[in-house]
Amino acid sequence: MASNSDSNVTNRDAFRQAVVNTLERRLFYVPSFKIYGGVAGLYDYGPPGCAVKANVLAFWRQHFVLEENMLEVDCPCVTPEIVLKASGHVDKFTDLMVKDGKTGACYRADHLLKDFCKEKLEKKDVSITADKAAELKHVLAVLDDLSADELGEKIKEYAIVAPDTKNPLSDPYPFNLMFQTSIGPSGLSPGFMRPETAQGIFVNFKDLYYYNGNKLPFAAAQIGMAFRNEISPRQGLLRVREFTLAEIEHFVDPEDKSHPKFPEVSNLEFLMFPREKQVSGQPAEKTCLGEAVSKGIVNNETLGYFIGRVYLFLTYLGIDKDRLRFRQHLGNEMAHYAADCWDAEIECSYGWIECVGIADRSAYDLRAHTDKSGVPLVAHEKFAEPREVEKLVIVPVKKDLGLAFKGDQRMVCEALEAMSEKEAMEMKADLESKGKVEFHVCTLAKTVTIRKSMVTIAKEIKKEHQRVFTPSVIEPSFGIGRIIYCLYEHSFYTRPSKTGDEQLNVFRFPQIVAPIKCTVFPLVQNQEYEEVAKHIAHMLTAAGISYKIDITGTSIGKRYARTDELGVPFAVTVDSTSSVTIRERDSKVQIRVNVEEVASVVKEVTEGQSTWNDMLSKYNAPQVPDDE
Amino acid sequence: MASNSDSNVTNRDAFRQAVVNTLERRLFYVPSFKIYGGVAGLYDYGPPGCAVKANVLAFWRQHFVLEENMLEVDCPCVTPEIVLKASGHVDKFTDLMVKDGKTGACYRADHLLKDFCKEKLEKKDVSITADKAAELKHVLAVLDDLSADELGEKIKEYAIVAPDTKNPLSDPYPFNLMFQTSIGPSGLSPGFMRPETAQGIFVNFKDLYYYNGNKLPFAAAQIGMAFRNEISPRQGLLRVREFTLAEIEHFVDPEDKSHPKFPEVSNLEFLMFPREKQVSGQPAEKTCLGEAVSKGIVNNETLGYFIGRVYLFLTYLGIDKDRLRFRQHLGNEMAHYAADCWDAEIECSYGWIECVGIADRSAYDLRAHTDKSGVPLVAHEKFAEPREVEKLVIVPVKKDLGLAFKGDQRMVCEALEAMSEKEAMEMKADLESKGKVEFHVCTLAKTVTIRKSMVTIAKEIKKEHQRVFTPSVIEPSFGIGRIIYCLYEHSFYTRPSKTGDEQLNVFRFPQIVAPIKCTVFPLVQNQEYEEVAKHIAHMLTAAGISYKIDITGTSIGKRYARTDELGVPFAVTVDSTSSVTIRERDSKVQIRVNVEEVASVVKEVTEGQSTWNDMLSKYNAPQVPDDE
């Protein structure tokens, strides 16, 4: 078993190395600022990577924004402190860090503990008892829940030292992951580079709601850069300091989370990994989305609808559906306000990676900005007929409260007014039966005695013409770089060269993703063929098809190999002045087409009006040619 | 004259107010973080603005990247200090600032001086003599060239005070416009948010050159965010702290700046404003681009080619060609290394605004990064046959120089080696005739005596197999937000409503720019029409056409007005279940089309396969209907 798992790890590492080498060599991406030694966690996308990203984003816009009539916005990255105070990022967007006591080098505390436990367990250290092994496994399981103190204790207990120097480590302390800066010249307005794009949508809720004709539900969307000053970035494109997010905030009436288009996705079946399966140690299982919603495994239809749409989006891009699962957050992973949360996780050589989060965040975000800004971010539902509503009315008697509590009067008043209906009705009953009641005031951190004269509590019937409420937010949030990296791994394969003495790399990108749609090669270097190649290139440009022309004298086989490595679906080889061949990347099958038809054939197939098989039957495909 | 110019200003302000009000009300853009009071110089693009931006960028990619086969890259915004040290931004990317002596409020020194001079001149202050007026005009003319000391003296001389408080001002001092931050948790790696995207391309030159098969010329392009911490942003979208740049770096052999596609643009005629016309007070003039290049007004063909392509790009977007000019930089505006530089300036209510800069930056940027990084960013030209080249060889005799100059020896050596061919040959002649020569060493700031024994100077014939050189860079750089704002002004007009009692706003966006391609209105609220509207909407989605559906009971005239204000080119009105009308925005003319044909008609016209006139003749257009 151990050797099997070891060899899996080796295979995985070798596979990853092959993919990453190809990606970096062909400039899909490279470490940024390489000539200056690079900066951890920052990457440049070169021409093919840039084109893949543009294609993925264009498809995202088509699949989500256009199909759902979403309101797209584009907000700044530089964000003033108050916005991120309200959202909680200034106080809570931290990782726990330890420092090398001598060099000052910084590490993520949980990473060091995780690495320590994994190494002990994987190496099957003979000194480890079964009890110890169980303990280490437990530490790994609860790692994300450990407090700074608990992490510090474990690090001391296991005598974990700085990995590079073996020096002792500091106690863990929180490090805020936002890049801080200062807005304007005074130095008095702190700002941050946004860690997500969502806040830009929330603060615009009022305008967007109005733009939508004051109607719910509606969704706003944003594609943009986000920034996280990671303590020690690793795992290549998966954990970076600057990345593209595509986020949707779907605003919905909390009392009606049905979705009219849910039937369009309810029959989909895919791997789902709900909470109870994780807790009870069962594997993820192929599940029908409609059933998951009707059984209450997924909290509501709208959340379910987006899970289905995300599944369609990812698989259409070329993500392998057998290495894609939707994992529900455990109770301890989820913020207290969240109603439900599912991650689309994609399996790659690094394991299962969270690539899309789909959360029902309830009314948390809009309430937080309402509280901080004083601007009510609410929706209205006008009633056709005024409705009679029973309303709780709590009226503190300020005079009596003032006499009894002096300076604390305001706090007591506010606490009384903030009582829930249940609390208030209990107090009313107690006051009526006993004349006084003990009441805990959180903001004063003490219990006071409330007498009957100090407050009136009643239920009154009121006529209401509308309902005012804070909408719930359902948020699908896409890490575009992570999706693209997983797509690279899922699209990569190797096949032997014709001579069999080397392995050739291929990316089997779908047409929609491929960075370039076709290449144009004159078979041999001569002016006639080059003229034809240029003529074809001209027609491709006019048709809006991206292409690359390769007029080097390299053998045609080598040129095919080069273009396969970029995932280019079609190669046009000019071997006469009247007709040329078009070769498909994965099958290597060729068809012969008149020069004047090349652009329209490539356009039809890459834009999806026809399939390659249609073209095979239309053009009576010959065999794979000799020269490959 | 004065009242005429005053009324021009008033008209301009009123026009701008009408445009900006419409833009903000319809969420083309709004100040960011409004619910928290906003942040100067930061704006959000709402749904129509976001769509316009996406359309402009998509066309930019088509017109430049795809048509010219450019290598697009995507580099991070967070940039380490060393890169911006090399580029000069850390030391020189500053504006001169003054502070209110009491409140600490900050102002741009040149803005205060400019405002002061303009106000005095415009108000025709009676106390101003003709001499004084001439002086103020001179100050305005040389404003950009004033040093900190000169600006400070003028501010003192004119007794300029803080505009908000009338407090005295500090002396001007440079403020760096880059947002500073810190990369990683140590606090030891300063970084900046990039002030332009170009550096990301320069540092990748080596990889990109290789990607291009080690061939020149080629161009790399990048679209991305850039950041400038403006001291006091004003002029709305024109001077902001975060903005989208689209930049091209075209690398070319400095000895051959011809361009094979120049003939395609050489017949274009447009307003050009070369240096000598500006200096001699003549106006910009319609000029043939080919002549401007052949007469040497524009430095070279490649620069001319890009000027032509920029002209085509802007006018195709809808920029009015009569309010577009290409202005050449004056000698004092241009960096010392630049060979030539032209700005595409667009006239709007703020005056002539620089929207695209097209500069021949020679080898400056690549050399700067070569020097700083030690990595040679150079190109190679392999000779078919080895060439004999006469080379200057300067060999300092270190022993004799050491005896004569001791610790200064190294400086003297370096100065000798750095001599130009002309200097060296003069020294050789002098040494041979006189035996010694006086030689100024800049780095020592003194003149030393060089004797014949101290250096040998010779010309030698060497065989060379290739030429190694630093390419020149021609850089078209587009301020996307500025272009879009000018486009808004150029597209905006008003026309009376049917009743004549109000002015209605219209944006006459070309199809390619329009944020939404069509709207769908059921004429009256009934289920039958709504079903048809939804069916049409469904077909539009399938055809990839963006639309908005408006099923409110508002009058059809009001709904047309709403959609005109968003610049939507076509409105589909459902007034039967079999056929519907399609109305064109600017002419208000309608055609009647079968329900099933709507999507294809709108697609054909918006994507340019047919014109509206084609449709008018095909569908036999009726008159403008009564209800408008």
Q: What is the mean pLDDT of residues B57-81?
A: 95
For strands B340-348 and B324-328, give the pairing: antiparallel
Type and span of the H or E element at B246: strand B242-252
pLDDT greater at residue B603 or residue B407 = B603
Instruction: Give the Cα separation of B595 and B581 in Å (integer).
Output: 9
Q: So what's the pLDDT on residue A337?
A: 83
Q: So what's the pLDDT on residue B415?
A: 86
Beta-carbon contacts of residue B233 (< 8 Å; ≥ 6 apart): B40, B41, B239, B240, B241
Over residues B457-488, the pLDDT tens digits come to 998 888 889 999 999 999 999 999 999 999 99
Using the beta-carbon criterion (under 8 Å), do B225 and A106 form an inter-chain contact?
no
Q: What is the mean pLDDT of residues B80-86?
A: 96
Q: What is the ipTM of this complex?
A: 0.87
Chain A: closest CA distance from residue B625 (Å): 27
CB distance A178 to A229 below 8 Å: yes
Q: So what's the pLDDT on residue A120?
A: 85
Judged against a pLDDT cut of 60, whether residue A3 lies above it is answered with: no
Tokens of A63: 């699949």
The closest CB to that of A181, out of B40, B53, B179, belongs to B179
Q: So what's the pLDDT on residue B124?
A: 63
Q: So what's the pLDDT on residue B582?
A: 96
CB distance B195 to B179 below 8 Å: no
Judged against a pLDDT cut of 80, whether residue A126 lies above it is answered with: no
Q: What is the mean pLDDT of chain B?
A: 92
Over residues B236-271, the pLDDT tens digits come to 899 999 999 999 999 999 999 999 999 999 999 999
Q: So what's the pLDDT on residue B184?
A: 92
Mutate: best of A78, A182, A232, A239, partner B, most B CBs <10 A: A78
Q: What is the mean pLDDT of residues A490-506?
A: 92
Chain A residues in contact with B204 (beta carbon < 8 A): 30, 34, 44, 46
Q: So what's the pLDDT on residue A2?
A: 41
Mutate: best of B52, B57, B74, partner A, most A CBs <10 A: B74
For strands B570-574 and A492-496, give the pairing: unpaired
Q: So what's the pLDDT on residue B335?
A: 79
Type and span of the H or E element at B426: helix B421-434
Using the beta-carbon criterion (under 8 Å), do B203 and A34 form an inter-chain contact?
yes
- Name beta bridge partners: A110: none
Instruction: Give the Cα separation of A59 and A43 in Å (integer).
Output: 23
Cα separations (Å) of A43 from A242, B74, B626?
Answer: 8, 9, 60
Chain A residues in contact with B181 (beta carbon < 8 A): 179-181, 193
Over residues A149-174, the pLDDT tens digits come to 999 999 999 999 998 899 999 999 99
Q: So what's the pLDDT on residue A130?
A: 84
Judged against a pLDDT cut of 70, whether residue A451 lies above it is answered with: yes
Chain B residues in contact with A77 (beta carbon < 8 A): 77, 193, 225, 227, 242
Beta-carbon contacts below 8 Å between A and B: 216
Locate the chain B residue with the closest alpha carbon to A65. Answer: B546
- Top mean pLDDT of A378-392, A536-550, B208-222 is at B208-222
Q: How confident is the model at residue A197 (pLDDT cuts 50, 70, 90)?
A: very high
Judged against a pLDDT cut of 70, whether residue B623 lies above it is answered with: no
The closest CB to that of B76, out of A32, A61, A186, belongs to A32
Beta-carbon contacts of residue A66 (< 8 Å; ≥ 6 apart): B541, B544, B546
Locate the chain A residue with the closest alpha carbon to B223. Answer: A50
Annotate A237-257 with b (16+ C-beta within 10 A) or e (fewer): bbbbbbbbbbbbbbbbebeeb
Judged against a pLDDT cut of 80, whether residue B105 lies above it is answered with: yes
The closest CB to that of A51, out of B43, B72, B225, belongs to B72
Using the beta-carbon criterion (under 8 Å), do B78 and A227 form an inter-chain contact?
yes
**Which residue's entry shows tokens 């807005």?**
A183
Mutate: best of B26, B28, B34, B36, partner A, most A CBs <10 A: B36
Tokens of A192: 């941050």
Chain B residues in contact with A368 (beta carbon < 8 A): none
Over residues A307-341, the pLDDT tens digits come to 999 999 999 999 999 999 999 998 888 877 889 99
Q: How confident is the model at residue B290 (pLDDT cuts 50, 70, 90)?
A: very high
SS3 category, B626: coil
Cα separations (Å) of B98 from A105, B153, B168?
Answer: 40, 12, 10
Lowest mean pLDDT across A425-429, A480-484, B118-122: B118-122
State what percent of residues in chain A have pLDDT above 90: 72
- Note the pTM of the prediction, 2 decimals: 0.88
Q: How confident is the model at residue B319 (pLDDT cuts 50, 70, 90)?
A: very high
Locate the chain B residue with the closest alpha carbon to A85. Answer: B36
Chain B residues in contact with A182 (beta carbon < 8 A): 179-180, 229
Q: So what's the pLDDT on residue B238?
A: 92
Locate the chain A residue with the closest alpha carbon to B176. Answer: A185
Read off the DSSP letter of residue B428: H
- Name beta bridge partners: B184: none
Locate the chain B residue with the closest alpha carbon to A515. Answer: B72
Instruction: Give the Cα separation of A56 and A44 in Å (integer).
Output: 17
Half-sphere exposure of A8 (CA within 13 A, CB side): 10
**Which residue's entry shows tokens 């007070």?**
B281
State what percent of residues in chain A have pLDDT above 70: 97
Instruction: Give the Cα separation of B588 and B570 in Å (integer).
Output: 9
Chain B: closest CA distance from residue A502 (Å): 22
Q: So what's the pLDDT on residue B626?
A: 47
Q: So what's the pLDDT on residue B295?
A: 97
Beta-carbon contacts of residue A379 (< 8 Å; ≥ 6 apart): A209, A214, A216, A251, A253, A468, A469, A470, A471
Q: So what's the pLDDT on residue B96?
A: 93
Chain A residues in contact with B46 (beta carbon < 8 A): 71, 73, 204, 207-208, 211
Judged against a pLDDT cut of 70, whether residue B434 lies above it is answered with: yes
Judged against a pLDDT cut of 90, whether residue A552 lies above it is answered with: no
Over residues B168-188, the pLDDT tens digits come to 999 999 999 999 999 999 888
